[in-house]
C-alpha cells in the first residue's frame, strides 16, 4: 500500500471512531421514542402526545420545565395531560435504566430542536448536558410524581 492510501485508511478509521463516540440524539430517538411519538414528532392523536411545538413550551418555563423533561425520560409519566390541543391519559415507561446520561442529554437536545422546534426555543436555551441528567438520577421519582410536576408546570 502506498503512503497516500494508508493515510486515507487511517483517516477513515479515525472518522468512524469519532462517529461512534459522539452519541447521536436522532438515533436514540429513532430507536427508543419514535414508535410512539412518531418520526415526525407529531405522535398519534388520542394515544401518544406530540413533541412538536410542545417541548419548547416546557422549555419556556425555565429550570422547572427543563427538569420535567429530564424526569419524563428517566422516570416516565402517568396521568391525564393535554398537549398540542389533545388530551392523553396513559403512561410512558421510564427509560433511565436503558439510556446513559449521554444518551438522555442527546435525545433531549434532539427533541428540543427537531421538526422546527429550534425556531421556538427560548433565546437563552442551553444544550442539555450529561452532568445535568446525572444530577437528576438520584431522585427516583415514580411516573405519577412526574405527572405532579407536569400539573405544576402548566397551571
Binding residues for ligand HEC, per CB under 6 A?
32-33, 35-37, 48-51, 54, 69, 72-73, 77-79, 81, 83, 88-93, 95, 107, 111, 147
- Smallest CA-to-CA distance from 128 within 73, 52, 49 is with 73
State the distance between the two ends of the chain, measured CA to CA, in whole angstroms: 68
**Smallest gap from residue 62 Cβ to ligand HEC (A):** 16
Toward ligand HEC, which CB reaches closer, 48 or 115?
48
Largest Cα separation within the chain, whole Å, is: 68
Q: How far is the CB of 1 from ligand HEC (least distance, A)?
A: 44
CB closer to ligand HEC, 83 vs 141: 83
Record the cell numbers describing residue 51, joined without a space.
Answer: 413533541
User: Which grid coordinates belong to 151?
Assistant: 400539573
Identity of the residue, 3 or 97, whose beta carbon is nearer to ligand HEC in the bound complex: 97
**Residue with Cβ nearer ligand HEC (14 or 60):** 60
CB of 151 to ligand HEC, least distance (A): 11
* Shortest distance (Å) from residue 55 CB to ligand HEC: 6
Closest of 141, 46, 52 to residue 94, by C-alpha? 141
Distance of CA 30 to the CA centre of its chain: 11
Are 48 and 37 in contact by the 8 Å Cβ rule? The answer is yes
Amino acid at each position: 500500500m502506498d503512503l497516500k492510501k494508508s493515510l486515507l485508511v487511517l483517516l477513515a478509521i479515525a472518522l468512524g471512531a469519532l462517529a461512534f463516540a459522539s452519541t447521536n440524539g436522532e438515533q436514540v430517538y429513532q430507536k427508543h421514542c419514535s414508535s410512539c411519538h412518531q418520526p415526525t414528532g407529531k405522535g398519534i392523536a388520542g394515544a401518544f402526545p406530540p413533541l412538536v411545538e410542545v417541548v419548547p413550551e416546557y422549555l419556556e418555563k425555565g429550570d422547572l420545565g427543563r427538569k420535567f423533561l429530564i424526569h419524563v425520560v428517566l422516570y416516565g409519566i402517568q396521568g391525564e395531560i393535554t398537549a398540542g390541543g389533545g388530551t392523553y391519559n396513559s403512561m410512558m415507561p421510564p427509560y433511565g435504566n436503558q439510556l446513559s446520561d449521554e444518551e438522555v442529554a442527546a435525545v433531549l437536545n434532539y427533541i428540543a430542536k427537531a421538526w422546527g422546534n429550534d425556531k421556538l426555543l427560548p433565546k437563552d436555551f442551553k444544550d442539555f448536558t450529561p452532568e445535568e441528567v446525572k444530577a437528576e438520577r438520584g431522585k427516583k421519582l415514580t411516573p405519577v410524581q412526574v405527572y405532579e410536576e407536569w400539573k405544576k408546570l402548566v397551571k
